[in-house]
Amino acid sequence: MRDQARVVVIGGGIAGCSALYHLTREGWSDVMLIERDELTSGTTWHSAAQVTNFGMNQTMIGLKSHSIRLYQELRDDPDYPVGYNYGDGGIRLANTQAQMDGYRHFASVAAGMGVDLEVIDADECARRHPLISTDNLLGGLWDPTDGHIDPAQLCQALARRARLAGAEVNRHTPVTGLTQHADNTWTVHTEKGDVRCEIVVNAGGYRCNEIGAMMGVSHPVASMEHQYFLTEDIPAIAEVGHRIPLLRCPISDYYSRQEKGGLLLGFYEQDCRPWGMDGIDPKFSNDLCPDDLDRITDVLEGAFARMPALMETGIRSVVNGPITYTIDGAPLVGPVPGKRNAFCIIGLRAGLGEGGGHGWLLAQQIVHGEAQYDTWVIDPRRFTGHASVELTSLKAIEDYRNEFRFHFPHEHRPAGRPMKTTPLTPVLVGEGAHMGTVNGWERIDYIKPSQEFEETLGFRFSEVDAIVGEEVNAVATAVGLTEVSGFNRFELTGMDVHNFLDRMICGTVTKRPGRVGLGYLLNRHGMLKAEATIANIPASDRGGDRVWYGSAAASEFHDMDWLRSHLGEDEDVSIRSLTNAQTILVLAGPKAREVLSQAARGDWSREAFPWLSVREAHIGIAPATVLSVSFSGELAYEIHVPNEGLYAAYLALRRAGEPHGLKLIGSRAVESMRLEKGYLHWKADILTEFDPFETGLDRFVKINKATFVGKDALLQRMEAGPTRRLVTLAINSDDAPALGGASVRVDGRIIGTVTSGGWGYRTNLNLAYAFLEPDFAVPGRETTVDIIGERVSARVIESGPYDPDLARVRA
């Protein structure tokens, strides 16, 4: 074993082997894999190894498509062919109209990535899979590429190719410790000696937290016992005359695929069981958990009803082994939060099917700093300090029980809630607030008309939209109040703060005391990395001159890593997070100034406190920092309050607002209003796949600045011209909104993709943002948008159709 390498990957399952192989494909040959036992001796060896193209967002579809292409290439390798049953086809069943609507939407999402999925009715499901009954069935989603692969052969093939490219693979080499040095390099300690490396990758599967503990971190990954069994031969399969498709059934919580002359049946029972919560036996390798078929009885009965032939066959063998989950079910692939030169590729519950793509995107991040897709949906930093293994276990149980039931728009499932609350949370719930979650924080979604009210979840407009419309009207005509919990807030101090921010932000950085500005940070490829509100707070009895950096609630770890990684050793800049210490109350509407003036001493007139100002004050008796900024397009104030004074500030605003008709509002109303104003959401509309000019943020770029991160790359992109442009679409439908990922077409050809959408109540427009090919990104251009299976006419309009001159914001 060598004693040094550029990258050391720890773990020899599909995650580690894929990462190693793809690092060599990106041109790095000085790479090493270390495995405590044999390759594939963890979850990989007992995986059902299904390989599908289905995904609920474009990044997941893209990485799955890469996996399929790679696996086909490995299958056809004459020197080391891998067993891969490609193209058996697969059906996801549905017995409700809402599920069918979802499948229609996901088929459009897939089409934008060049993947053809087909929505079929119940009779067609039975025609393609002759073993199933159509009782209680509406239809399904057909994936013609569905299949399965041999797990051991796949990993050996990837490791073999990596070795041929110069990589080293060390088996039977347990890692015993990790040491990070002052220069951020690492020493990997093993039972066979130490390896010094620049970068370490945690690919430890269900042992990922043992490796994490060696780094001083804990990953939100938990394991669940998962059972499947193999049947004896089934005569009906032989009678079909061809391999039968894979089946995934949210109605009865099971899946099946052909295995020789019988079936492999896997179960997601409600009486499921976490595994390894109190530690994992060091000897558990190439091992399984004890069988427990009693707990799958209810699921098995559903499978018998759907596939009657099962009642006439026996069980050949049973497999019960651990599989890993994260809080939201998606894996953790990317930088380890708070660590330099440390990455992970863990929590891969569908590891074999997706692993080729996960390793591909991880290798791009390690070598180039970014991947070709925006990888936020799998970024380990999308969870912050609340992400414990205990919370993950609760969410894993919930996800396991709903394995094939996708999340509906606006669906917030109950497990692990409430996780993060403010002093106002029970007060707001008592006043009728329906709460959603943002990065674990409870946040108002809308105000229910009664405590018994329940929304009908689906992909179409619902009974909640009338409620949201009333909230928007209150803001437009009088004044609304809402709480924004979990907003990311850093306090920057030091002599070099503004010079540092000037280097990080591609536009003008406001330096005047008491003023607020908006800025965008780029990566070294000239693409959008982050969005930040910069507020210059003058010295007071609360502290010296300081700058607040505010960004999206989920961006705390992401932005902190980015800022700290660019701090020079000689720069006098300190960064402190205030995210969990303060909460925002937003006051918005034409009467907001009157309410604020009655709740707080001082002159709050337009002349004394104009738009884009910041001031320290007291709201009633509660200290607060007030920013004159708006995400609604109305006169508005962000009131940042330390949590210990939040309830007092809230009561003061409610009392002051009562004569002015103040109404509580939720985030759905704010979402509607920001769409009408052309305001963007980070990681919905602001993506690393596009630069600021493509995203319509030209006014925030000062290209003649001496320098900023990403400037050289941005200049090259400007010379090459845009690949896409973000536009606003007005959609000719009052039945359903356009949701993220939906395809935009001209004459049937896909020319772009929706990023976000919803109803604009002040403009009475069904609005969407979409990235389109530049030739079509022209106001007045007619298009169609895929909305739950229908191609609905739409027109490109000017961005921000509500109050385009900003008169109401500046009022």
**398, 437 contact by CB (below 8 A):** no
CA distance 225 to 288: 9
Does the bond joining 418 to the residue before it have cis omega, within 30 degrees of 0?
A: yes
Which amino acid, one-letter code, is at 422? T
Predicted pLDDT of residue 719: 97
Q: How confident is the model at residue 28 (pLDDT cuts 50, 70, 90)?
A: very high
Q: What is the largest CA-CA distance in the chain?
A: 85
User: Which tens digits make up the pLDDT trace of 488-514?
Assistant: 999 999 999 999 999 999 999 999 999
Check whether 166 has a pLDDT greater than 90: yes
Predicted pLDDT of residue 586: 98
Predicted pLDDT of residue 704: 96
pTM exceeding the 0.95 threshold for the entire prediction: yes
CA dihedral 605, 607, 611, 614 (to 10 degrees): -80
Check whether 527 has a pLDDT greater than 90: yes
User: Which tens digits make up the pLDDT trace of 137-154?
Assistant: 999 999 999 999 999 999
Predicted pLDDT of residue 351: 87
Check whether 741 has a pLDDT greater than 90: yes
CA distance 683 to 695: 12
Predicted pLDDT of residue 385: 92
Q: At a CB cut-off of 8 Å and minimum separation 6, what does 222 contact?
A: 274, 276, 277, 324, 325, 389, 392, 393, 396
Check whether 178 has a pLDDT greater than 90: yes
CA distance 63 to 367: 17
**Mean local confidence (pLDDT), 566-571:** 95
Q: How confident is the model at residue 222 (pLDDT cuts 50, 70, 90)?
A: very high
DSSP annotation string for 123-152: HHHHHHSTT---TT--EEEEETT-EEE-HH
Per the prediction, the chain carries an average pLDDT of 97
CA distance 299 to 337: 39
Which amino acid, one-letter code, is at 290? P
Q: How confident is the model at residue 467 (pLDDT cuts 50, 70, 90)?
A: very high
Predicted pLDDT of residue 389: 92
Q: How confident is the model at residue 754 (pLDDT cuts 50, 70, 90)?
A: very high
CA distance 752 to 260: 42
**512, 710 contact by CB (below 8 A):** no
Q: What is the DSSP letter of 272?
A: -
Predicted pLDDT of residue 677: 98
User: Which tens digits make up the pLDDT trace of 63-100?
Assistant: 999 999 999 999 999 999 999 999 999 999 999 999 99
User: Which tens digits make up the pLDDT trace of 295-348?
Assistant: 999 899 999 999 999 999 999 999 999 999 999 999 999 999 999 999 999 999
User: Which tens digits make up the pLDDT trace of 229-239?
Assistant: 999 999 999 99
Q: Which of 396, 389, 391, 354 is CA-nearest to residue 375?
A: 354
Q: Which of 446, 482, 766 is CA-nearest to residue 632?
A: 482
- Measured from the Cβ of residue 671, the count of other Cβ atoms closer than 10 Å reads 21
